[in-house]
Chain A
Amino acid sequence: MEFKGSPRLLIVSDLDHTMVEHGDHDNKSLLRFGALWQSEFNHDSLLVYSTGRSPKMFADLRREVPLLTAGIAILSCGTEIFYGDTMTKDHGWIDIISKGWNRAAVEEVAEEMNLKYQCDSEQRPHKVSFHVRKEESVHTMPTLLAKLLEKGLDIKLIYSGGLDLDVLPRAAGKGQALRYLLQKLKAEGRVPQQTLVCGDSGNDQELFSVDNVCGVIVANAKDELLQWHADQVGDKSHIFVATENCAAGIIEAMKHFGLEPNVSPRDRTVPLSVHDKLVPKADAGAAAREVVEYLLLTEQWLRGDISASEEVFRRLKFGLAKDSSRVCAWGTIDSPHKEIENLQAQYGSQRGKVFHMWADRVRSMKLSDDSWLVRFDKWERSDAGLTCVLTSAVLQSNVEFPNGLCWKLIHETWLKGYEGSAPVRK
Chain B
Amino acid sequence: MASLQACIAVARAPPLSHSPCLALLARALRPIRCTLRPQVRFLSGDMAMDWSFNWTAQGVSFRRGEMRFRVSLKEEASVDAKDQRVGAKAIPKLMLVSDLDNTMVDHLDKSHTGLLRFNNLWAAEYAHNSLLVFSTGRSLEKYTQLRTQFPLLTPALCIFSVGTEICYGANMEPDQDWVNYLNEGWNQAVVLEEVKRLNLRLQDDSEIRPHKVSCQIDKKDATEIIDTLSKRLKDRGLNVKLIFSHGIDLDVLPKGAGKGEALAFLLQKMRREGSAPQETLVCGDSGNDIELFEVEGVNGVIVGGAMEELRQWYDINGKHSSRLHLAKERCASGIVEAIGELSLGPHLSPFDRMNSNGIQPAVKASEKGQLTPSGVAQREVVEFNTFFTKWMNGEVPNNPESFQRLTSVIASGSTMVYPWGVEQSLLQSVTSAQSKHGLTKDKKIRVWIDCIQEQELANGVLMVTWHSWQMSEGWCLAGTERKGYFATAILREKEGTPNGVEWLRVHETPRKS
Contacts and interface: CB of A to CB of B under 8 A. Distances in A.
A368 B423 contact: no
Interface centre among B422, B486, B492, B504 (most CB of A within 10 A): B486
B13 interface: no
Interface string B497-513: 00000001101111111
B316 interface: no
A375 B421 contact: no
Interface in A317-331: 325, 327-331
A392 B417 contact: yes
Given A394-B463, A415-B421, A375 B505 contact: yes
A392 B504 CA distance: 12
B457 A394 contact: yes
A331 B505 contact: no
Nearest to B422: A416
Contacts of B504: 365, 367, 373
Contacts of A390: 417, 421, 423, 507
Given A332-B512, A415-B421, A419-B421, A369 B458 contact: yes
Contact of A409 (B458, B463, B509, B512): B463
B424 to A, nearest CB: 8
Given A85-B423, A392-B507, A368 B458 contact: yes
Nearest to B414: A365
Contacts of B417: 390, 392, 411, 413
B157 interface: no
Contact of A368 (B419, B421, B461, B513): B461
A200 interface: no
A38 B373 CA distance: 39
Nearest to A397: B458
Nearest to A390: B417
Given A331-B509, A392-B488, A394-B490, A414 B461 contact: no
A107 B476 CA distance: 62
Contacts of B507: 327, 390, 392, 411, 413
A339 B59 CA distance: 23
Given A367-B458, A394-B490, A413 B509 contact: yes
Nearest to B420: A416
Interface string B463-504: 101000000000000000000001010101000000000001
Contacts of B457: 367-368, 370-371, 394, 396, 408
A413 B512 contact: no
Interface in A362-416: 365, 367-371, 373, 375, 390, 392, 394, 396, 408-409, 411-416
B349 interface: no
Given A368-B458, A373-B505, A396-B457, A331 B415 contact: no
Interface in A202-224: none
A329 B485 CA distance: 11
A259 interface: no
B486 A331 contact: yes
Nearest to A419: B421
B421 A414 contact: yes
A422 interface: yes
Contacts of A367: 457-458, 461, 490, 492, 504
Contacts of A409: 463, 465, 488
B459 interface: yes
A413 B458 contact: no
A96 interface: no
Contacts of A370: 457-458
Query: Could you say which interface size class chain B belongs to?
Result: 20 to 34
The SS class assigned to the B binding surface is strand
A417 interface: yes
B511 A413 contact: no
Nearest to A370: B458
Which of B421, B458, B511 has most chain A Cβ within 10 Å? B421
B312 to A, nearest CB: 47
Contacts of A413: 417-419, 421, 507-510
Interface in B397-436: 415, 417-423
Nearest to B492: A367
Contacts of A331: 486, 509-513
Contacts of B511: 331-332
Given A367-B457, A368-B457, A327 B488 contact: yes
A333 interface: yes
Interface in B138-182: none
Contacts of B421: 390, 413-419
Contacts of B418: 413
Nearest to A363: B415
A408 B455 CA distance: 11
A419 B420 CA distance: 10
Quick one: which of B490, B492, B504, B508 has the most chain A CB within 10 A?
B490
Contacts of B415: 375
A373 B512 contact: no
Contacts of A332: 511-512
Contacts of A411: 417, 486, 488, 507, 509
A396 B456 CA distance: 12
Q: Which of A85, A330, A331, A417 has the most CB of B within 10 A?
A: A331
Contacts of A327: 465, 486, 488, 507, 509
B461 A412 contact: no
A4 to B, nearest CB: 9
A340 to B, nearest CB: 13
Contacts of A419: 421
A418 B423 CA distance: 14
Contacts of A365: 504-505
Given A333-B486, A375-B505, A416-B421, A368 B510 contact: no
Contact of A373 (B419, B465, B490): B490
Contacts of B465: 325, 327, 409
A330 B512 contact: yes
A317 to B, nearest CB: 11
Nearest to B460: A368
Nearest to B512: A331
A282 B418 CA distance: 30
A367 to B, nearest CB: 5
Contacts of B419: 413
B180 to A, nearest CB: 30
A408 B488 CA distance: 12
A408 B457 CA distance: 10
Nearest to A365: B504
For A365, A394, A413, the residue with the greatest tally of chain B CB atoms inside 10 Å of its CB is A413
A412 B465 CA distance: 13
A392 B507 CA distance: 7
Nearest to B419: A413
A373 B505 CA distance: 9
Contacts of A369: 458
Nearest to B485: A331
A329 B490 CA distance: 19
A313 to B, nearest CB: 13
Contacts of A333: 486
B320 to A, nearest CB: 48
A399 to B, nearest CB: 16
B509 A412 contact: yes
A415 B508 CA distance: 12
A391 to B, nearest CB: 8
A365 B457 CA distance: 13
A84 B457 CA distance: 30
25 contacts: A329-B509, A331-B510, A331-B513, A332-B512, A365-B504, A367-B457, A367-B458, A367-B461, A368-B457, A368-B461, A371-B458, A373-B504, A375-B415, A375-B423, A390-B417, A392-B505, A394-B463, A409-B465, A411-B488, A411-B507, A412-B509, A413-B419, A413-B421, A416-B420, A416-B421
Given A331-B486, A368-B460, 9 more contacts: A327-B486, A368-B458, A373-B504, A390-B507, A411-B507, A413-B417, A413-B508, A413-B509, A417-B421
List 6 A-B pairs, minimum CB-CB distance, nearest first: A368-B458, A331-B512, A416-B421, A392-B507, A411-B507, A327-B486
